[in-house]
Amino acid sequence: MPDPVENKTIIKIECPCCRTQLTVDTVRAVVTETSDPAGAARKASELRDAERLLAEESSRIEEKFKQIVEADKGRGAAMDKLFKSFMEKAKDEPAEKPVRDIDLD
């Protein structure tokens, strides 16, 4: 397997996972060349999947935004109603003088 080229030792290895061909220079301990036979087909499918995933993500974000807007509309009316009820109570009851620490002695 080792091929001496210009006083260097070159090893060609195939990755067991992705079948990529690696050319390794053992003297310098670097990968000098890679070739991926199935890379072009895999990249095209990854792009199609990425496009589909982005579309799904976009629709999910839009749906979540609509839900938040609808919930916020109802929340505003509920807060107005609660504020009015507290204002009515405040008009009926006289204002109390706040208790201070110095008054407790």
pLDDT digits 0-9 by tens, 73-91: 878 888 889 999 998 888 8
Is the pLDDT score of 17 beyond 90?
A: no
Q: Which tokens go with 70?
A: 């609808």
Per-residue pLDDT band for 5 (boundaries 50, 70, 90) equals: very low
pLDDT digits 0-9 by tens, 29-50: 888 887 876 665 566 667 778 8
